[in-house]
Amino acid sequence: MTLRLFDTASREVRDFVPLRPGTASVYLCGATVQGVPHIGHVRSGIAFDVLRRWLEYRGHDVLFIRNVTDIDDKILRKADEAGRPWWEWAATHEREFTRAYDALGVLPPSAEPRATGFVTQMVEYMERLIDRGHAYVADGNVYFDVRSLPDYGQLSGHKLDDLHQGESAGTGKRDPHDFTLWKAAKPGEPSWPTPWGPGRPGWHLECSAMATSLLGAEFDIHCGGMDLVFPHHENEIAQSHGAGDGFARYWLHNGWVTMSGEKMSKSLGNVVSIPAMMTKVRPVELRYYLGSAHYRSMLEYSDAALHEAAAGYRRIESFVNRVADRVGDVEVGEVTDEFAVALDDDIGVPAALATVHNAVREGNTALESGDGAKALAIAGAIRAMSAILGTDPLDERWAASTASDEAATAALDVLIGAELDRRATARAAKDWAVADEVRDRLAAAGVDVTDTPDGAQWALTTKGN
Q: Do residues 382 and 432 share a domain?
A: no
pLDDT tens column, 278-334 = 888 999 999 999 999 999 999 999 999 999 999 999 999 999 999 999 999 999 999
> DSSP assignment, residue 20?
B
Q: What is the pLDDT of residue 417?
A: 80
Query: 3-state SS of the chain: helix, strand, coil percent to 5?
Result: 50, 20, 35
Q: What is the pLDDT of residue 463?
A: 37
- 287 found inside a domain: no
User: By the 8 A CB rule, do 35 and 267 touch?
Assistant: no
Distance CA(398)–CA(394), nearest Å, equals 7
Q: What is the pTM of this model?
A: 0.85
Q: Do residues 254 and 179 share a domain?
A: yes
Q: Do residues 415 and 392 share a domain?
A: no
Choose one of 263, 291, 314: the last residue of a domain.
Answer: 263
Q: What is the pLDDT of residue 168?
A: 72
Q: What is the pLDDT of residue 464?
A: 36
Choose one of 369, 398, 427: the last residue of a domain.
Answer: 398
**SS3 at position 12:** strand
CA nearest to 332, candidates 290, 371, 382:
382
- Per the structure, the complete domain to which residue 441 belongs is given by 411-460
Distance CA(90)–CA(303), nearest Å, equals 30
Q: What is the pLDDT of residue 368?
A: 93
- 238 found inside a domain: yes
Domain count for the chain: 3
Q: What is the pLDDT of residue 403?
A: 42
User: By the 8 A CB rule, do 449 and 442 touch?
Assistant: yes
Choose one of 214, 244, 263: the last residue of a domain.
Answer: 263
- 465 found inside a domain: no
User: By the 8 A CB rule, do 448 and 461 touch?
Assistant: yes
Q: Do residues 219 and 311 share a domain?
A: no
Q: Do residues 246 and 314 share a domain?
A: no
- 73 found inside a domain: yes
> Exposed, middle or buried: residue 95 (CB in 10 Å: 0-12, 13-18, 19+)?
middle
Q: Which residues of the chain have pLDDT under 50?
A: 402-404, 406, 462-465
- 191 found inside a domain: yes
Distance CA(175)–CA(171), nearest Å, equals 11
Q: Do residues 309 and 195 share a domain?
A: no
Strands 141-144, 262-263: parallel, antiparallel or unpaired by DSSP? Answer: unpaired
Q: Do residues 84 and 197 share a domain?
A: yes
- 167 found inside a domain: yes
- 104 found inside a domain: yes
**DSSP sequence for 302-367:** -HHHHHHHHHHHHHHHHHHHHHHHHT---------HHHHHHHHBTS-HHHHHHHHHHHHHHHHHHH
- 165 found inside a domain: yes
Helix (H) or strand (E) holding 248, with range, is strand 247-254
Domain with residue 122: its CATH number is 3.40.50.620
Q: Do residues 340 and 222 share a domain?
A: no
Helix (H) or strand (E) holding 50, with range, is helix 39-57
Q: Do residues 416 and 383 share a domain?
A: no
